[in-house]
Structure 1
Amino acid sequence: MTALRVRQVGPGVAVQDLGRAGFLAKGLTRGGAADRLAVAEGAALLRQSRDLAVLEMVGTGGTFEATADIRIALTGAEMTAQIDGANVAWNASHKVPKGGILTIGPTRTGTYGYLHVGGGFATEVMLGSRATHQSCGLGALVTAGDLLLVGQDKSDEVGLTLPRDTRFDGGTVRIVPSMQTGDFAEDTRARFEQTTFRRDPRANRQGIRMDSDGEGFSTPKALGIVSEVIVPGDIQITGDGTPFVLMAESQTTGGYPRIGTVLPCDLPRVAQAPAGAALQFQFVTLDEGAAIEARARAAWDTLPKSATPLVRDPASIQDLLSYQLVGGAVSATDTPLDKG
């Protein structure tokens, strides 16, 4: 039996995958990983499907013991990580030997960190997914003493890494018009784009509050909105004028006006922004948004090609002759500074 035994674990750690599609009409949002890009990155590092289940960690990870040789990958928010006391790189794949201890500590950057295993976590499938959906009572948080079964691993390759991007520090988030965008005055929409928001500490997998200086954002038609379907990425404006970005476990209907909707490819930037990080929203048209999303999905599909060895073997470098291997070399006997 291949598994990870949980010796100690932080709060909010849960098994996730890409979520449950097709249940919105029945009152169940997709759920799944808050940072879907991190799931794709881990799959690329382990050369396996991105549909496999992973472990999502918030703030800190835990201590895990391998019952057999296991391949792992670490992606998302960077956390301290050690295998049998030796530091290991983040955004990379590694081997944990049988009996080995994997320790994942506090977050350094970002919010959600991910632990992937070769073969994926083989927890119970519920409604076609292994994702823990806390607000709907599907699955449960990981606790000390749990034995997390691991599926069959079809590879043994480790020692790969991927470059990290900038989604862990806030930044610009692209949005498209939503159902009530036109109900907001033009100058209100312009002010919304020009405002630098701060990611409020009041946030969870259902939604993230955006804090800012100055007056809030409102529309006179707010009280006349009938409750209707909403999706992750929608930006609701509450009665006091505060924006909330809805996340993976958002409710399925709501009556607050929506000033816009975050592109799915930019939602990981919102999810990973640490408390206090600056975020700014930029409107794009539906056609522009569709093109941006298509490019992002194509880039995600090419992630396996972007994975490179942590330590490059000269024998496997196809363009070895293009490297300058002697720059900075000095002679132990020649002393040019002593020559007149």
Structure 2
Amino acid sequence: MTAQIIIHKAGPGLSVQDLGRVGQTHLGLSRGGAADRLALYEAAALLGLSAPIAALEMPIFGGVFEVSVPSRFALTGAPMRAQIGTRALAWNASHHLQPGEILTIGAATAGVFGYLTFAAGLEVAPRLGSRSTHLTAGLGSALQAGTHLALGTDTSQDHADMVLRSDTRFQGGPLRYIYGPQTGLFDVQTVARFDKTTFTRAPSGNRQGVLLQSGTAPFPAQAPAGLASDFIQEGDIQMTGDGHPFVLLSECQTIGGYPRIGTVLACDIPRIAQAPAGAPVKFTHVSLAEADRIAASQKTLLQDLRRQIRPLIRDPRTIPDLLGYQLISGVSAGREPEE
């Protein structure tokens, strides 16, 4: 029997996403891929994989899933209510799913994009070097109820029932950015005010980008009439015609004419992608040298995450403060030693 995932129910926008496509800008195709790439690295660490693989991206709502073979999987990204049957599951953790069991993933309790990653990998045919669905480019489409997706082969049953400490990127927060070739179109006072302003994520937004609001005066550029369109990329902070910042995300266009005040560092894009409507966002300028240093530190991201994983149910013999837990029979659910 071919190993499969059966999707019994799909939330809006459910799609297959990996790290995206590199080097296709000349074709007018942005990188695409997961809106929150950090979530794919977290899944790889939890499942003991050598690199991130394609996952199911779930915007706001999850779905109902079944497998035809015993499968390990990880739940990462925006925390969502999840359960197998009636058993609640920890988020940012890896688990087992057996044939006949039903995995139900509900609404996000924080953030926007949740991810369901199977250790066996999704056997979706690559296009232009990626398995990612690029909705705006017409590469693939959102998944629907009744879809069957082929699974690869999971060569290890290790790294299940593992957990990573929850991250804080799901409530907005600081975004580091560098100046770009069009920052000079904004006067010094406007740039300084931009850095001091706390914005909020507007209700409008998707995988192409998110609009930010401030309730203050706009941030106009001193751009000449008829500013020529230029190459743009994920992370660019475009200033719309009415002077409000719009941060581009994974499925952004590749050419744009709005002036850009700067570019968000790649490692901070998951924070803006996961910011829910109304979440506060504040920009902090960093030098190019500092940005290079931060980028270099990201090269060991997967190894760093691997060092942070812990057993979901800890061995009582390894817990130094065991006597501080409530473990009385009949009073405790018996899961207090979870990480």
Instruction: Give the TM-score normalised by structure 2.
Output: 0.92
Equivalenced residue count is: 324
Relative to structure 1, the CA distance from residue 327 to residue 115 in structure 2 (aligned partners, 3 Å threshold; closer, same or farther) is closer
C-alpha distance in 2 between matches for 1:312 and 1:133: 40
SS of 2:136 mapped into structure 1: helix
Task: State the 1:53 CA deviation.
Answer: 0.7
SS of 1:72 mapped into structure 2: strand
User: What's 1:204 paired with?
Assistant: 206
1:68–1:99: 8 Å Cα contact kept in structure 2?
Answer: no
SS of 2:131 mapped into structure 1: coil
Structure 2 residue 109 is matched with structure 1 residue 147: no
2:45–2:302: 8 Å Cα contact kept in structure 1?
Answer: no
Q: Which amino acid aligns with 2:173?
A: G
Q: CA RMSD in A?
A: 1.5
1:48–1:119: 8 Å Cα contact kept in structure 2?
Answer: no
Q: Which amino acid aligns with 1:201?
A: P
Q: Which amino acid aligns with 1:140?
A: S
Structure 2 residue 125 is matched with structure 1 residue 131: no
**Deviations, residues 148-167 of structure 1 (Å, cap 9, x unaligned):** 11111121121000011211
C-alpha distance in 1 between matches for 2:322 and 2:17: 45
Task: State the 1:202 CA deviation.
Answer: 0.5
Task: State the 1:295 CA deviation.
Answer: 2.1
User: What's 2:108 paired with?
Assistant: 107
1:75–1:114: 8 Å Cα contact kept in structure 2?
Answer: yes
Q: Which amino acid aligns with 1:264?
A: A
1:32–1:131: 8 Å Cα contact kept in structure 2?
Answer: yes
C-alpha distance in 1 between matches for 2:321 and 2:212: 49
**Deviations, residues 145-193 of structure 1 (Å, cap 9, x unaligned):** 0001111112112100001121111111000001111121111001001
Identity %: 48
User: What's 2:257 paired with?
Assistant: 255
Q: How is 1:1-340 mapped onto 2 (pairs within 5 angstroms)?
A: 1-157=2-158, 158-314=160-316, 317=318, 323-326=320-323
C-alpha distance in 1 between matches for 2:128 and 2:264: 27
Listed as ranges, the gaps of 5+ residues in structure 1 are 330-340
C-alpha distance in 2 between matches for 1:54 and 1:200: 27
Q: Which amino acid aligns with 1:227?
A: S
Relative to structure 1, the CA distance from residue 212 to residue 155 in structure 2 (aligned partners, 3 Å threshold; closer, same or farther) is same
SS of 1:182 mapped into structure 2: helix
C-alpha distance in 2 between matches for 1:280 and 1:198: 9
Relative to structure 1, the CA distance from residue 216 to residue 123 in structure 2 (aligned partners, 3 Å threshold; closer, same or farther) is same
4+ long deviations beyond 6 Å: none
Q: Which amino acid aligns with 2:30?
A: T
Q: Which amino acid aligns with 2:144?
A: T
Bigger CA radius of gyration: 1
Relative to structure 1, the CA distance from residue 16 to residue 324 in structure 2 (aligned partners, 3 Å threshold; closer, same or farther) is closer
**Deviations, residues 104-155 of structure 1 (Å, cap 9, x unaligned):** 0001011000000012111121111100000000011110000011111121
1:222–1:257: 8 Å Cα contact kept in structure 2?
Answer: no
Q: Which amino acid aligns with 1:244?
A: F
C-alpha distance in 1 between matches for 2:242 and 2:290: 31
Relative to structure 1, the CA distance from residue 208 to residue 328 in structure 2 (aligned partners, 3 Å threshold; closer, same or farther) is closer
SS of 1:136 mapped into structure 2: coil
Task: State the 1:328 CA deviation.
Answer: 8.5
C-alpha distance in 2 between matches for 1:180 and 1:250: 18
Q: Which amino acid aligns with 1:28?
A: L
Task: State the 1:224 CA deviation.
Answer: 4.4
SS of 1:197 mapped into structure 2: strand
SS of 2:61 mapped into structure 1: coil
